[in-house]
Structure 1
Amino acid sequence: MLYVILIAAIVVFWLVAVDRPVLKVKFQAGKIIKVKGHFPPKFRHNVEEIADIVPFDGIFKVYQQRTGMKLVFSEAVPKKVQQRIRNVFPHQGFSSKPGSKRA
């Protein structure tokens, strides 16, 4: 009985504590260094264009929530760049899995 409670506690801890973004993009000097997750081609093109104009270092992550997608930026990303990325973010067309459209 104790092992069931222990396993349940580990599963609950994993669901709450583990960082699970849909998309994680790392930048260094205005270039994309690392991408983890689905990065839509049009959004990628727009973000690369922004990074070419204003080179920056940092990370941004996209989380899926019940109300929609949420963008989270590291402190190294300037506020003006954050706003430009938010402006080009495809809220309606962004999906975590291709083909998971809802009716």
Structure 2
Amino acid sequence: MSLMDMLYVILVAAIIIFWLVAIDRSILVVSFKDGHLVRSKGHFPPTFKHNLIDIAQHEPFSGEIKVYQQRTGAKLAFSKQVPKKIQQRIRNVFPHQGFTRQSSTLKKGR
């Protein structure tokens, strides 16, 4: 194996590591502006969407909510603009079962 081949292997490994670490891989992104749903991308369970819109109508806020899939389950992440009080209300209505891998594979197998 020549020096150039080893450099190519190291370069490819560095790119793969960068992709795994640096790329934002959320399964749901929801953006609000002044209490209105502006943008959503990803799997958005209908009841969760309804509850988020209801919360935003009662207490308007701006910001972004992201959902990440982890081994232990789904994780919520909020932008700094979302007040702590609103974050807790959203956590209370978050459907943890709606974001599990097992439930989605069971539905496909039926």
TM over 0.5: yes
Normalized per residue, the structure richer in helix is: 2
Q: Could you tell me how far apart the structure 1 residues matched to 2:18 and 2:86 are?
A: 34
Distance change (3 Å), C-alpha of 1:67 and 1:99: closer
State yes or no: 1:5 paired with 2:10.
yes
Instruction: Pick one of 26, 36, 41 that aligns with 1:21.
Output: 26
**Mapping of 1:27-66 within 5 angstroms?**
27-66=32-71
- Asked which structure has the greater RCO (Cα within 8 Å, sep 6+), the reply is 1
Runs of 4+ off more than 6 Å:
none
Aligned residues: 102
Q: TM-score, normalised by structure 1?
A: 0.90
Q: Which structure has the larger Rg? A: 2
Cα displacement (A) at 1:95: 4.1
- Distance across 2 between alignment mates of 1:101 and 1:17: 31
Q: Does 1:76 align with 2:81?
A: yes
Unmatched runs of 5 consecutive residues or more in structure 1:
none
Q: Secondary structure at the match of 1:20?
A: coil
TM-score (norm 2): 0.85
Indicate the SS of the match to 1:100: helix
Q: Percent identity?
A: 61
Q: In structure 2, what is the Cα distance between the partners aligned to 1:49 and 1:18?
A: 31
